[in-house]
Structure 1
Amino acid sequence: METTPAFALLLDVDGPIASPVTRTVQPEIIALLGELGAAGIPVVFNTGRSDEFIREQVMEPMLEAGMPEGLLVHAICEKGATWFSFTGQGAGPVHVDETLAVPRAYADDIRDLVAREYAEHMFFDETKRAMVSVEQHIGVPSEAYRAEQERFDAEAMAVMARHDLGVVRLDHHVPGSDDAVDYRVDPTIISTDIESVRLGKDLGASRACELLRRDGIVPAAWYTVGDSRTDYAMADWLHHNDHVVTHVDVRPADGVPTKPYEVLTAAYLGLEDDVIHDDAGLAFLRRWRDALALAD
């Protein structure tokens, strides 16, 4: 039997849900995710983070807070390369698309490079199953990390060339624009991801729709939420595939692009410009919870 909730949530994690400073999730955000799920709103995470990170920082706090019976949450991780679902009983199996994995020999070389030259500023993320990710240590100032990140990114590209893995470019791949590109180096404000160009938030959106269709759920509309330009790919894919979508940008400092769908920032809620990241995500979750309460 098919159900049509008023909307579904497709959520990036770093920024809108987890603080990019502490890498943890505010308890009120955890509570609101449970409330919205209990009200019948599908909650799907679409993140570059690993399944282990989602289990530890999102799933386990939701379980401790008490997940409503029957609530099923989907987590699409590593930009679509891995995914799993969880209920109040815990996590189901993790699915991995091995065709999207960075070659192990390259990952080994990057691990060695970080240990040898960059360990003071960043660490190799051992929890990734398909991507190679190197992340800023929490105690390292952003300015110091960014300087080292720029040098690391250049070396990561050089290592890729030595492995003869094709052209790597720092900008974001447009599907079909360059078939010779196999991998990309994608820097964020706290990490660098080295990944197949087939990965992205658009792939995550596609997987989200597949998972909800399997559950018999076809949302009337979507809210996508992110903190970077690459997160707009979620809403781009949904709009292109004839879904009604609104995108929420919780860190609009990079500029809000013109899109054929509505884009909201914290200013829409009457908040100041410095309300960003998980504080802005929290404000929108409150808004959606309150709107559902009024509808009832």
Structure 2
Amino acid sequence: MTSTPVSAPAPAAASIGLLFDVDGPIASPVTRRIAIPSIIDDLVLLAGAGVPISFITGRSDAFIRDEVVTPLLAAGLGDVLADPQNRMFAVFEKGAAWTPVTSDGLGDVVVDDSVALPGVVVDEIRELVASDFSDTMFFDETKRAMISVEQRTDVAHADYVEAQKLFNEAAYAVVARHGLGVRFGDRETPDASGLVPFRLDPTIISTDIESVQLDKDRGAERALEYFAASGPLPRLWRSVGDSRSDYLMADHLHSAGYDVAHVDVRPSDGILERPYDIIVEGELIHDEAGAAFLEHWVTKLGLR
């Protein structure tokens, strides 16, 4: 991992640190882009105030570069991150890849090849999508370690959901046939050693096929390691996400002894019981809730 050069002044501890899922609280789950301009402006303001910010996402580095970092740079993030007291980090594919965000954009991406699926399985899933499901979904060619098959934006969500059910069954059969050991919901097909190292993880807009070692707590651990190596850490943290798995970011922070609360921007899926506070933004959901959360902290810190 890249850390702040020895010659640079050590960053001062900020009053809060932030971990964000991307789809939902930052990017619209409909357009897959940052649709609310204040989100961009407020992220730049918070980063400029020394708040360590990390994106912990299942998305690829290419997606985060194009849809998140590029608009942030256009809004002045490059000047902000030229100051070593300001830190931003990104974890992709739920912990399979990561890099600092620098004044020039994404740094060199590190990939954990130990959690990648075999190429023969990747190729067969790609062919499955092309032959049977290309009318509702597409194969994400930008992933480095996991497989993601995502809803096409020109397809009605109800149509995608029906096709996704069929795809999940077909994809599970492919992985199991190759003897990898795979889990989907309550179903498991172990490998020859009795292990189940991979899983299917459906979301509202995609299905991921991934190592069971990957999840948002792993991503949070990566981010904290980077921030700890580059300067002091705040004791107060907020994690923000729209899926039940996003609570794992706060779980890791809590278990590491930090003062944390989790912001759930899609509470209708069910608010989980946790030993830390769960925050909802009234009736707002998705990126509208994310924008309200950011505005709260920009105001609280006197940045606007």
Aligned mate of 1:4, from 13, 19, 22: 13
Aligned mate of 2:134, from 86, 101, 119: 119
Q: What SS does the aligned partner of 1:259 have?
A: coil
Check whether the contact 2:53–2:89 (CA below 8 A) recurs between aligned residues.
yes
Q: What SS does the aligned partner of 2:135 have?
A: coil
Which residue does the alignment assign to 1:73? 88
Check whether the contact 2:146–2:210 (CA below 8 A) recurs between aligned residues.
yes
- Cα distance change, pair 172–197 in 1 and its aligned pair in 2 (3 A): farther
Deviation string 1:56-111 (CA, Å, 9 cap, x unpaired) is 01111011111123243211000000011222222210000000111111010000
Pairing of 1:256-295 with structure 2 (within 5 A): 256-267=271-282, 273=283, 275-293=284-302
Deviation string 1:158-181 (CA, Å, 9 cap, x unpaired) is 0011100013223699xxxxx822
Q: Give distance in 2, aligned partners of 1:247 and 1:99.
A: 30
Does 2:202 correspond to 1:187?
yes
TM-score (norm 2): 0.90
Which residue does the alignment assign to 2:143? 128
Does 2:175 correspond to 1:166?
no
Q: Give distance in 2, aligned partners of 1:163 and 1:234.
A: 32
Number of positions where the alignment pairs a residue of Structure 1 with one of Structure 2? 284
Q: Which amino acid aligns with 1:46?
A: I
Q: Give distance in 2, aligned partners of 1:263 and 1:255.
A: 11
Does 2:226 correspond to 1:201?
no
Check whether the contact 1:30–1:61 (CA below 8 A) recurs between aligned residues.
yes
Does 2:239 correspond to 1:228?
no
Q: Which amino acid aligns with 2:253?
A: L
- Cα distance change, pair 291–172 in 1 and its aligned pair in 2 (3 A): farther
Q: Give distance in 2, aligned partners of 1:222 and 1:114.
A: 40
Which residue does the alignment assign to 2:4? none
Which residue does the alignment assign to 1:90? 105
Q: What SS does the aligned partner of 1:224 have?
A: strand
Does 2:258 correspond to 1:243?
yes
Which residue does the alignment assign to 1:60? 70
Q: What SS does the aligned partner of 2:296 have?
A: helix
Q: Give distance in 1, aligned partners of 2:177 and 2:302.
A: 57
Moved more, 240-249 or 114-123: 240-249
Deviation (angstroms), 1:146 = 0.5
Q: Give distance in 1, aligned partners of 2:168 and 2:184.
A: 10
Aligned mate of 2:54, from 18, 36, 44: 44
Check whether the contact 1:171–1:186 (CA below 8 A) recurs between aligned residues.
no
Q: Give distance in 2, aligned partners of 1:265 and 1:20.
A: 18
Q: Give distance in 2, aligned partners of 1:32 and 1:234.
A: 21
Check whether the contact 1:172–1:186 (CA below 8 A) recurs between aligned residues.
no
Pairing of 1:129-148 with structure 2 (within 5 A): 129-148=144-163
Which residue does the alignment assign to 2:7? none
Aligned CA RMSD, in angstroms, stands at 1.7
Q: Give distance in 2, aligned partners of 1:154 and 1:41.
A: 43
Aligned mate of 1:100, from 92, 115, 126: 115
Deviation (angstroms), 1:261 = 0.2
Which residue does the alignment assign to 2:6? none
Q: What SS does the aligned partner of 1:293 have?
A: coil
Check whether the contact 1:2–1:218 (CA below 8 A) recurs between aligned residues.
no
TM-score (norm 1): 0.92
Which residue does the alignment assign to 1:176? none
| Structure 1, gaps ≥5 residues long | 174-178, 268-272
Equivalent pairs: percent with the same residue? 50
